[in-house]
Chain A
Amino acid sequence: MGRTKPHVAPFVGPQWYVAAAWLAAAIVAQATIVHYLAFRGAVPSLVLVVVVWYAIRVDARRAAIYGLAAGICEDALSAQTGAAWMISTGLVAVVASLLSRGFFADSLPLAAAVTAVATLLRSLLFWIVMALGGYPAGLGAMHFHAALAQAALNVAVIVAAMLVARRFESARE
């Protein structure tokens, strides 16, 4: 009598190429256009918004891979960050994925809350890694204020994006 494989639910998250296309577009926009939208020293992070959008729809392993890939791209485009974005974005993707368990992924309050937490946590992890790498200390308050501003911007971006997506979906139906 042969052993049967345990039943595994089929993957229903976004296709990898769709997620990759969104990530690529976000990274290009992040390195070129978003710079001009700076508010109180912070810019909205389209990359993090895309990572959170993906992470709250998939399991932690996929979220980690996606977050690491996004972080590597950001490190490649940044100066002197080493692997700080890779580490912080990868960990935050896992946290976002775990936080979203038990909720509907298209819930606006959930997405907004996870985005805000993810922004603050990623900033904290990023500057911890940078400090370990020798970045001069003494700017903690400034970085915290910038992270708060970025969290507000990111929440606004993800809420706007989800509302637009809902409008398109309802128009299609």
Chain B
Amino acid sequence: MQIGAQRAGSVSPIATVAGSLFMAGETATTAAIRAARGLGLGMLALPGLERENAQLRQRNQTLTQENARLHELAAAYAAESAVRPVVDLYHGVEARVIGFPPENESRAVTIDKGSRAGIRRDDGVLGASGVIGRVAAAGPFSSTIILATDYTSRIPAIVRDGRWWGIARGNLSSVIVEFIPQDAPLRVGDVVVTGEGRSFHSGVPIGTITAIERGDATLYQTAVLRTSVDFGALDRVVVDTGGSH
């Protein structure tokens, strides 16, 4: 069969079967050799890989910590940059919020600066975007701030476009401006700012009018404000000490 196939110029069935069997054996043997070689090389390199892995893990941990620290620094820088113009404008004292009233009975915060930094009772407290409140009590190293939303807070206010006066009073969740003359043509969206007083200079934003309450038999109208400051995310504040420090 072999000779006949050789003469005919074809491959004999025996050669075909043998070749196929050998090919399978060759393939398996080659794969086994490659696997063994890879395993051997891997085992040889294992201590080095383990070392490299440990180094990479440590480096990853270091980079993660550094990343978190840089994010914190960036956030702190952004917060500080936001209040820096207010500090420069009013020559105020920058402070950080460190505490809250224990039982949430009032809308207030505690800051980390007190009378030693020149802060006094009734000083105005500002944020990057407007009024936060006023100092209710100043200790040597900390002060308590009554927020503008507190029920006992009263701030002289002016509707910026029109110059109508009112009193901005805290309503726990928002601020309302009372005692605005009935003939004042208020509009939703008008900005309300502080009037000149003991605690604040004039023109500091308190909020924007979102609703107006007019009664037919009343002398005054009342405006409900959306405050210009997010009271749920207070961090850095500026105490307007009137340049006394």
Contacts and interface: CB of A to CB of B under 8 A. Distances in A.
A68 B137 CA distance: 22
Given A31-B110, A79-B136, A79-B144, A74 B103 contact: yes
Interface magnitude class on chain B:
10 to 19
Contacts of A80: 106, 108, 136-137, 146, 152
A126 interface: yes
Interface residues of A, number: 26
Interface of B: 98-106, 108, 110, 136-137, 144-146, 151-152, 172
A149 to B, nearest CB: 10
Interface of A: 27, 30-32, 34-35, 38, 41-43, 45, 47, 74, 77-81, 85, 126, 135-136, 139, 142, 146, 150
5 nearest interchain CB pairs? A35-B100, A79-B108, A30-B102, A79-B144, A79-B136
A32 B136 CA distance: 19
Contact of A31 (B100, B146, B172): B100
A32 B104 CA distance: 11
A77 B152 contact: no
A30 B98 CA distance: 12
A91 to B, nearest CB: 16
19 contacts: A30-B103, A31-B100, A31-B101, A32-B98, A38-B104, A42-B104, A74-B102, A74-B103, A77-B101, A78-B101, A78-B103, A78-B106, A78-B144, A79-B106, A79-B145, A80-B146, A81-B105, A135-B152, A146-B104
